[in-house]
Structure formats: structure tokens, C-alpha cells
A and B are shown apart, each in its own frame.
Chain A
Amino acid sequence: MSNDASQGANVELAHRIGSEIAAVHAAEVDRNARFPAEAIAALKDARLLSALVPQELGGMGMKMVELTAVCTALGQYCAATAMVFAMHQIQVACIVRHGLGSEFFRQYCRELVDKQLLIGSITSEVGVGGDTRSSICAVEVDGDRFVLNKDATTVSYGAHADELLVTCRRDLAAARSDQVMVLVRRGQYTLEQTSQWDTLGMRGTCSPGFKFRSRGDAAQILPGDYADSSGQTMVPYSHILWSGLWLGIASDAMSRAASSVRAEARRNPGTVPPTALRLAELSNTLQSMRSNVHDVARDCQELQESAEGNESLLTLGFALKMNNLKISCSTLVVQIVHQALLICGIQGYKNDSKFSLGRHLRDAHSAQLMIGNDRIYGRSASMLLVYKDA
């Protein structure tokens, strides 16, 4: 089942969009730190922005294993495209897994299918850094309307999104950790850019800081607590889909290194080039990264489909597994690209060679910062004080 899902028609489609469109613009998207508009348009045309919407509402009802494979495929051609796609899916996951009891969100999903709307995320906030589980801003509801303002540090494709899913305190009296999510639609909000996005990597995600101001209808507040949607959806989908696309970056680095070694071998048939040994080592590391991503994606999907369903995603054991996946993949992707660079040598170091790995390396370095690994280690450390089945 998982094999089919990771090699199915949608994954092939992602490879096609990746090789024919995303890869063609990747270098320029990176150089100019511009939004990968062509690739995102192609993903919309392929109706992949509603991949997670259940079939009864017109979507594909795609599951975790397949979606992860799509992210891996895209990550091989343009990591920024893959990251925009993954972040969008994380937001859709929150809506389809927690919002469908509400008529507003059911109707919204139908519209998402129809118009292939792109959803951005505002969890980060000036004053709380990367701690997604606390907010300073609060949604203020008056009758059936709300007002919500947030000073966000980093909003990927903020200027290109159709809607934004924003975390905030439940009301002005609520504790920082007592949060909800609000879907704010284009036309209901303004964004005032407060910083630039001139970064080392992931430049095409276009993620500067913004002062966000909005008003809307109270029905747009996602039902339930963010504490649950975070543990059951936002965290697992983020860590698995991100790891999936980092695996894509690592796989492409591996394939560039492999073709460089093959080219060398062809020049000297009969002798195994010394770099082949390093390639064997790289292949070993890549395999453990790939197994980890596949295993955890499958585990998550199986738990979702189990009798206990969403409840089983709230255990400490599951949270630890998610943390470990994120930490190891974000670390391995840098290690793998670095090893590949040593194999390709100067050809990998050059920006204008077919073995170039500069963009891969710069993109890979974002992985350990996107929710800082020490922050995640800190959470795991405290869970391990009470968790027994470690």
C-alpha cells in the first residue's frame, strides 16, 4: 500500500511539474528571492492544492504517505516550491481534520477545491519567537464579528497567499497557551511588511515579517482548541512533510554526487574512483534518512486510520517520535549535502555547474532553524522525565 502511494500517479505528476517547471526556474527564484509562481501555478492546475480535501467535498482525500512522497518529489527540483507546497498542506490539514463540523469550513473546502486557493501561516510572533504554543495576540469577538491583529516575525509567501491561518489567544483574558486558529481571507486583512527576506536559503519562500491586521466573521475561528489541532495535526504534518522535502533535497544532492562519480569512472574504466567510497557512505546515510521518513509517515497514517484515531496522536510516545524525526532529518540533510559537495569537489562548489550544490546546502541549513532543534530537544527532554517506554 505504502509503496503504491509513494510511486503513484500524483507522485509522477509532481516529478513532472518538478522537472519541467520548478527546476527550470529554481536558480532564478533563488537568486532573486522571488516567489516560485510558475511551479505553484502548475500545482494549482494539477489540483494538488486541494489534495487533502476529502473526496466527498471534491478533493483527492490524499493520505500522509502519498503526500510526503509528493513533497519529496518536489524537493528534488526546487526546495522553495516544495516548502510553499508543504506549508500550504499543513494549513489545509488543520482545516480538514478539525473544521469539518462547521458549515463555514465545509463550504470553504469546496471553494478551495474550485479555486485552488493558497493558504499561508502565521504562528510566529514578535515576543514569543518560534514557540508556536504561545501567543500574545488575541482574537476579539464582538457579536458575530472578530478583530485580530498580530505582529509576525516570519510569514512565508505572505504577499502571495489567498488566505492566512493565524494562531492567537482565545480571547483577551486567555492564557498565552490557550489558543485558537483563525482563517482570515483575502480582503479581510492588511499586511504591512516590517522586515526583508534576504536570507541564506529558502529564498523563494519570500518570508519577511509583517504587521497583520484583520476583521472577519466569527465563524472563521477554527472549532476546538489549537492545543489539540497542534498535537494532532500541525506538528505531525509539519515535521513529516518538512522531513519529506528535506529528503528530496538530500536525494538530489546524492544524485548529483553519483553522476559526478560515474563521470569520473568513465574516464578511467577499470579503476574505482576514490570518491566512489564516499558515495557508498552517502548512500548509507541517505537510506537511513529515507527509512525514517517513510516509517514515520506510515506510522502516522496507520494511527490516523486506527480505531483510536486522532486520540492516539496525542500520546507522548507519538510526540517524541515526531520530535525525533524532525531533529534527525534536519541534521542529516545538511550532512548529506555536505558529503555530496566533497564528492563533487570544485564542480559542486561552483554556482554554474551541473553538479552545483550551493543552493541545496543553503536551503538545507534552514531545517534546523525552522522551530529550533534545541527548542524541540528541550520539549523531548521534559517529556522523557515522565515517559516510561523510551
Chain B
Amino acid sequence: MSTTDDIRQILKAHGRLSADADTLAEDADLYQAGLTSHASVNVMLGLEGQFDIEFPDRMLKRGVFGSIASIRDAIEELTAS
């Protein structure tokens, strides 16, 4: 499965979105799709578990979790070695 698919799965499981995470555009605004700050913490936890990463504090910002594409950028930055 690609990173993007994994992200969609986690959004589906924890994001409590009002839109369908499978079909949401990669640059669609997740907050407008119903992501609350509370749900975003669960999404972060899900991503940290799935990808075996830790988001450093500088990445724990609204913008980083604002779209599927921005989440993927953050994960790629952390997993690139």
C-alpha cells in the first residue's frame, strides 16, 4: 500500500470526517472536511504508530495536518534517510 493509502485509512479510522477519506482530493482541506483538533491528535497517534515515527514538536501544527498531501510531505521528510 502506498503512503497515501495508509494516510487515507488512518483518516477513515480516526479523523471522524464528514467526507469520504477514500475519495477526498489530496489537497482538500481536512478541517473543512470536519477534522477537529481533538480528532487530529488521534490521527497523529495513528500515523506515528503506522509509520513508526515521532512527529517532532515543530511539526505539530495545524497546517501540517491540513491535507493528505501535507501529511504525506511530513511523513516523507521523517522517513527519508
- Give A contacts to B, CB under 8 Å: 133-134, 170, 174-178, 225, 227-228, 231, 311, 314-317, 379, 382-383, 385-389
Contacts and interface: CB of A to CB of B under 8 A. Distances in A.
Contacts of B48: 386
B33 A315 contact: no
A177 B63 contact: no
B32 interface: yes
Interface residues of B, number: 22
Contacts of A385: 41, 45
Interface in B56-81: 56-58, 60-63
14 contacts: A170-B32, A174-B32, A175-B33, A178-B32, A178-B34, A314-B62, A315-B57, A379-B37, A379-B38, A382-B41, A383-B41, A386-B44, A386-B45, A388-B54
Nearest to B48: A386
B4 to A, nearest CB: 21
B14 to A, nearest CB: 12
Interface in B30-57: 31-38, 41, 44-45, 48, 54-57
A388 B44 CA distance: 13
Contacts of A133: 36-37
B24 to A, nearest CB: 13
Contacts of A228: 62
A347 B63 CA distance: 55
Interface in B9-33: 18, 31-33
Contact of A177 (B35, B41, B58): B35
A316 B60 contact: yes
Given A178-B31, A315-B61, A379-B38, 19 more contacts: A133-B37, A175-B34, A176-B36, A177-B35, A227-B31, A227-B37, A231-B62, A311-B61, A314-B62, A315-B60, A316-B57, A382-B38, A382-B41, A385-B41, A385-B45, A386-B41, A387-B57, A387-B60, A388-B56
Contacts of A227: 31, 37, 62
B57 A177 contact: no
7 tightest A-B CB contacts, nearest first: A175-B34, A177-B36, A316-B60, A386-B44, A382-B41, A389-B57, A175-B18
B32 A314 contact: no
Contacts of A225: 31
Nearest to A382: B41
Nearest to A225: B31
B30 to A, nearest CB: 10
B31 A388 contact: no
A180 to B, nearest CB: 11
Nearest to A319: B37
A385 B33 CA distance: 23
A311 to B, nearest CB: 8
A177 B61 contact: no
B31 A314 contact: no
A316 to B, nearest CB: 4
A300 B40 CA distance: 24
B70 to A, nearest CB: 14
A228 B63 CA distance: 10
A33 to B, nearest CB: 36
Contacts of B57: 315-317, 387-389
A385 B43 CA distance: 11
A126 B10 CA distance: 32
B21 to A, nearest CB: 14
A329 to B, nearest CB: 23
Contacts of B58: 315
A133 B34 CA distance: 12
